């Protein structure tokens, strides 16, 4: 019987936490963008403006129909909510902020619909029901 030995180097816990903290929000953003695009029958697009990056931008036939930000964190300060309001107010369409739950918000944003996983589930279920009937 032959055995081969492999060296197992343990990855530091801090490295794993940092990798998850950096990568998970991007995966969540992509998932939510695809979910909303399918639910509303829209097409994801990239908005290319100087010093402006949108997490979610969905287009209908010729114009933007929905823009949004995804903040998948434990807390969102009022100052950051203000920046999100300023950024999304540039667009004349539906504006959303996706968060893990409303308790993470220091205050509710003005003119922006807050979506939690529960609201996303409702949107997906309504879309499924509509497509089946």
pLDDT tens per residue across span 6-42: 555 667 888 888 878 788 888 889 999 999 999 999 9
**What average pLDDT does the segment 72-80 reach?**
94
The reply to whether 115 falls in a domain is yes
Q: What is the CATH number of the domain that holds 25?
A: 3.40.1350
Question: Which domain does 85 fall in, by range?
Answer: 13-132
Nearest Cα to 109, choosing from 79, 73, 85, 76?
Answer: 85
pLDDT above 80 (res 132): no
Assigned domain for 3 exists: no
pTM: 0.83
Residue 5 included in any domain = no
pLDDT at 73: 87
Q: Is residue 8 part of a domain?
A: no
- Identify which of 55, 56, 68, 71 has the alpha carbon closest to the alpha carbon of residue 104: 71
Q: How confident is the model at residue 115 (pLDDT cuts 50, 70, 90)?
A: very high
Nearest CA to 93 out of 114, 69, 111 is that of 111
Give the chain's mean pLDDT.
89
Using a pLDDT cut of 90, give the percent of the chain over it.
Answer: 65
Is 57 part of any domain?
Answer: yes
Whether residue 70 lies inside any domain: the answer is yes
Which residues of the chain form beta strands (DSSP E)?
43-44, 56-59, 64-70, 94-98, 113-115
pLDDT of residue 2: 54
Tokens representing residue 34 in the block: 């695809």
Structurally, the chain folds into a number of domains equal to: 1
Confidence band of 109 (pLDDT split at 50, 70, 90):
very high
């Amino acid at each position: 019987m032959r055995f081969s030995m492999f060296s197992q180097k343990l990855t530091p816990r801090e490295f794993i936490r940092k990798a998850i903290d950096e990568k998970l929000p991007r995966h969540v953003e992509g998932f939510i963008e695809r979910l909303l695009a399918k639910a509303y029958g829209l097409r994801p697009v990239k908005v290319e403006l100087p010093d402006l990056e949108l997490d979610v931008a969905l287009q209908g036939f010729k114009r933007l129909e929905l823009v949004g930000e995804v903040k998948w964190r434990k807390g969102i300060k009022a100052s950051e909510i203000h920046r999100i309001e300023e950024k999304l107010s540039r667009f004349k369409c539906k504006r959303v902020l996706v968060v893990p739950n409303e308790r993470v918000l220091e205050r509710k944003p003005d003119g922006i619909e807050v979506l939690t996983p529960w609201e996303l589930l409702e949107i997906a279920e309504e879309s499924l029901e509509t497509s089946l009937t």
